């Protein structure tokens, strides 16, 4: 994989400023994002020969052949497509695979795009979604009516039992990212909160409170990738894909590992190895935060702290853009800024903005190496990208 390091670049990025898009079809929002990212790159739809999207889940507008539906809607005929859906980190996985496609000549200009409109979407979850489908492995779990949040609750509770993690430490994650969101005019929630506010908010699924949970937004974003050579001739400073890794693990709750390790323990080391880097090299991180426990486990699996040490790590202020050792979720993350359902694309976009020096809110000074990391489902999958300028 080392051969792939730095061979491709993100040359355009766009996050829709929308957080509410009443009765806007998600494909229309994707078109806004695709054109936005292409404009940013100085490219047009005519340049695009690759399309990556995963638009077949709830509130995403597409069905089981979503990438065809999307290509048709946009009005292009890509010769490279990827609609691999591994949940929220799909777009990071697709970026890694797009890099391989570009480096081997399968494609030249690839758009990776996402949008969803859960705030108004009128249909229920597709019946074949693994979290509602009571057949095969799911027949032994779905009848008990687990919720997505209760599965994160199982992780959080066991983390507390195994490692002494406290609700206050979890709350610090939400408080820190809200501080970052306060500076981002596009963030969904910007009013500062305290640890006490988080703990006083209603319990959704114990031990997680409402303010331990992400916002629910209508939104979308897109990035454009091309070769290192072509990137040099385009409008914006290229952001190179230096490292990439992905892994899948499980969907069923019964398969949660005893030590709560997640597939990030595979995706992270692969990404660092490809980049020839270690966690100490990361200047700024965007780490998927559907719930407060979500980035905490990632910090352990990615090696920013030891197993079980994420509670003290976040409580010590390490994630704060102002003085922390690992400024994280500088845009406010999913907890405060934007989370339509699969926010992996935003971890790429905010990484690009930080490396270019044009973050919408907080800007980390002189950031040269960024980490974008996501998970899918309930720690079912993981994908990690290391980006450089």
Partner 1 sequence: MTAMTTLPILDETSAPFWEAAREGRFLIQRCPETARYQWYPRAHSIHAPHATPDWVEASGRGELLSYSVVHRGNTRGDPYTCALVRLEEGVTIFSRIEGVAESDLRAGLPLAVAFHRLDETVSLPIFRPPGDASGSDA
Beta bridge partners of 112: 52, 223
Query: With respect to partner 1, which residue has the nearer C-beta, 104 or 139?
Result: 139
Q: Which residues contact 167 (CB under 8 A, 6 or more apart)?
A: 160, 198, 199, 207, 209
Restricting to residues 294-333, which ones interact with partner 1 according to CB under 8 A?
A: none
CB 21, CB 213: distance < 8 Å: no
Sign of CA dihedral 152, 156, 161, 163: positive
Of positions 3, 105, 144, 191, contacts partner 1 by CB under 8 A: 144
DSSP 221: E
Tokens describing residue 290:
């559907």
CA separation for the pair 270, 92 (Å, rounded): 14
Task: Pick the stretch among 57-65, 134-142, 224-232, 363-371 that binds partner 1 (CB under 8 A).
Answer: 134-142
Binding letters toward partner 1, positions 249-288, x by CB under 8 A = ---xxxxx-x------------------------------
DSSP run (H or E) holding 80: strand 80-82
Cβ neighbours, 10 Å, residue 22: 9
Using CB under 8 A, pick the residue from 77, 194, 206, 278 that binds partner 1: 206
Q: Does 124 bind partner 1 (CB under 8 A)?
A: no
For residue 34, the minimal CB distance to partner 1 (Å) is 33
153 touches partner 1 by CB under 8 A: yes
Q: Does 204 bind partner 1 (CB under 8 A)?
A: yes
Q: CA-CA distance, 149 to 146, in Å (whole number)? A: 8
Residue 213 beta carbon to partner 1: minimum distance, rounded to whole angstroms: 9
Residue number, 124 or 366, with CB nearest to partner 1 = 124
CB of 21 to partner 1, least distance (A): 23
- Number of residues in contact with partner 1, rule: CB under 8 A? 38
Residue 225 structure tokens? 């990738």
CB count, 10 Å around CB of 257?
Answer: 11
Q: Does 203 bind partner 1 (CB under 8 A)?
A: yes
55, 97, 151, 354: which one binds partner 1 (CB under 8 A): 151
Q: Please, which of residues 157-196 interact with partner 1 by CB under 8 A?
A: 157-158, 161
Q: Are 14 and 302 in contact (CB under 8 A)?
A: no
CB-wise, 47 or 197, nearer to partner 1? 197
**Rounded least distance, CB 30 to partner 1, Å:** 28
Q: State the nearest-atom distance from the C-beta of 141 to partner 1, in Å.
A: 5
Half-sphere exposure of 129 toward its Cβ, with a 13 Å CA cutoff? 17
| Residue among 80, 114, 121, 155 that touches partner 1 (CB under 8 A) | 155
CA distance 78 to 67: 10
User: What is the per-residue DSSP string for 271-321?
Assistant: HHHHHT--GGG-SEEEE--SBTHHHHHHHHHTTSS-TT-HHHHHHTTTT-T
Other C-beta atoms lying within 10 Å of the C-beta of residue 266 = 18
From candidates 22, 75, 202, 323, binder to partner 1 by CB under 8 A: 202
* Interface residue with partner 1, options 3, 136, 280, 365 (CB under 8 A): 136
Question: Which segment (37-45, 147-155, 186-194, 363-371) binds partner 1 by CB under 8 A?
Answer: 147-155
Secondary structure element (H or E) that encloses residue 350, with its range: helix 344-356
| Residue ranges binding partner 1 (CB under 8 A) | 134-137, 139-158, 161, 202-208, 252-256, 258
């Amino acid at each position: 994989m080392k051969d792939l390091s730095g061979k491709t670049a993100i040359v355009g990025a766009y996050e829709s400023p929308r957080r509410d898009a009443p009765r806007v079809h998600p494909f229309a929002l994707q078109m806004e994002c695709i054109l936005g990212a292409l404009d940013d790159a100085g490219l047009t739809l005519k340049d695009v020969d690759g399309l990556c999207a995963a638009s077949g889940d709830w509130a995403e507008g597409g069905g089981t052949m979503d990438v065809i539906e999307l290509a048709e809607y946009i009005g292009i005929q890509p010769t490279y497509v990827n609609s691999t859906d591994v949940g929220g980190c799909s777009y990071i996985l697709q970026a890694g695979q797009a890099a391989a496609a570009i480096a081997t000549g399968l494609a030249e200009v690839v758009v990776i795009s996402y949008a969803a409109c859960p705030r108004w979407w009128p249909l229920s979850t597709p019946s074949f979604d693994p979290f509602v489908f009571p057949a095969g492995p799911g027949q032994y779990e779905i009848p008990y009516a687990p919720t997505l949040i209760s599965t994160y609750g199982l992780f959080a509770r066991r983390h507390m039992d195994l490692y002494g993690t406290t609700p206050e430490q979890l709350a610090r994650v939400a408080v820190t990212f809200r501080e970052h969101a306060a500076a981002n005019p596009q963030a969904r929630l910007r009013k500062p909160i305290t640890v006490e506010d988080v703990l006083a908010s209603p319990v959704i699924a114990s031990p997680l409170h409402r303010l331990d949970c992400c916002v629910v937004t209508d939104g979308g974003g897109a990035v454009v990738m091309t070769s290192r050579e072509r990137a040099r001739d385009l409008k914006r400073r290229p952001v190179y894909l230096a490292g990439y890794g992905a892994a899948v693990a499980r969907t069923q709750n019964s398969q949660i590992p005893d030590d709560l390790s997640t597939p990030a323990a595979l995706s992270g080391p692969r990404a660092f190895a490809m980049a020839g880097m270690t966690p100490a090299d990361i200047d700024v991180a965007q780490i998927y935060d559907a719930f407060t426990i979500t980035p905490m486990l990632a910090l352990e699996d990615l090696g920013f702290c030891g197993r079980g040490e994420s509670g003290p790590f976040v409580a010590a202020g390490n994630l704060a853009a102002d003085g922390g050792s690992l400024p994280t979720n500088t845009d406010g993350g999913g907890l405060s800024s934007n989370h339509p359902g699969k926010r992996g694309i935003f971890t790429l976009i905010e990484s690009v903005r930080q490396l270019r020096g044009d973050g919408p809110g907080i800007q980390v000074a002189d950031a040269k190496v960024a980490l974008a990391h996501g998970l899918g489902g309930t720690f079912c999958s993981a994908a990690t990208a290391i980006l450089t300028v």
